[in-house]
Structure formats: structure tokens, C-alpha cells
């Protein structure tokens, strides 16, 4: 499920890309699953269809989805491309933080804290 934060700093088309990649990484979307048409998703999210089209074009360029004329867009046999989109960004931000003087220990503490929070959230979700 894609959630858009219109007040955030991340461009909306990138939020769409992240949402679709997240659904692929979680196994919600599987290879050859059809994704919503750009106009349908735009209407559901209350955004401009061109923004969704831009996101779909980026995902197709990265080999995460493919389109068939007259049929729509589908999840590609992606291997780890959807995951890689997240890990590449994580690596870039890690490099920036280290370059800015953030210590390795601080980054490790942050990673451990986030890991713990996410693990606890997953356990709480499975108990519902």
C-alpha cells in the first residue's frame, strides 16, 4: 500500500517508487503481477497522473516493472532490483554521514535501534 506524504521532502514520484519497491520486497507484489494503471493510482492517491507516470517510467528504466502496450504495467522478474533501490540509497546516505564526520559507532547504534524497533513492530503486528 502506497502512502504519500505531501508535506515531506521526498518527491511524490519517489514515494510511489519506494512504495512499489517496498511491496515487491515484502512479497506483496510478485513477478508478473499487474500494478494499478497510472490514472487509477493517481485518482486513489489524489495526485496528478503525470506524477504516477513519471514514477512508473523510473521503475521501468530500472527494470523493476515492465509495460505491455494496451495491457498495463507488471512487476518484472527483478531478482534483487527492488531491494537494491533501498540498499543503494542506504549506502549513499551512509557515505554522506561518514564524510560529514558521523562515527561508525553512531551509525551502528542507529542501525541497531532501527532494527530493534522494526523487529518489535513486526512481533506486535503478528500478535494482532
Indicate the pTM of the whole model: 0.68
Q: What is the pLDDT along the chain (128 residues), one digit of tens a residue?
A: 788 998 989 999 999 999 999 899 888 999 999 999 999 999 999 999 999 999 999 999 988 999 999 999 999 986 556 667 677 888 888 989 999 999 999 999 999 998 888 888 767 666 55
Sign of the CA dihedral with 26 first, then 30, 34, and 38 last: positive
Strand order in the sheet with 72-75: 34-35, 72-75, 65-68
| Terminal Cα distance for the chain, rounded | 19
Residue 60: burial class (beta carbons within 10 Å; 0-12, 13-18, 19+): middle
Amino acid at each position: 500500500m502506497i502512502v504519500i506524504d505531501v508535506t515531506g521532502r521526498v518527491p511524490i514520484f519517489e514515494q510511489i517508487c519506494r512504495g512499489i519497491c517496498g511491496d515487491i520486497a515484502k512479497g506483496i507484489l510478485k513477478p508478473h503481477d499487474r500494478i494499478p494503471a497510472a490514472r487509477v493510482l493517481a485518482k486513489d492517491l489524489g495526485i496528478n497522473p503525470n506524477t504516477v507516470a513519471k514514477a512508473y517510467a523510473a521503475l521501468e528504466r530500472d527494470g523493476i516493472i515492465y509495460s505491455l502496450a494496451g495491457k498495463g504495467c507488471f512487476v518484472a522478474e527483478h531478482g534483487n532490483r527492488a531491494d537494491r533501490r533501498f540498499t543503494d540509497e542506504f549506502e549513499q546516505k551512509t557515505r554522506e554521514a561518514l564524510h560529514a564526520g558521523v562515527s561508525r559507532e553512531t551509525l551502528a547504534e542507529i542501525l541497531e535501534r532501527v532494527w530493534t524497533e522494526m523487529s518489535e513492530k513486526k512481533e506486535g503486528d503478528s500478535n494482532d
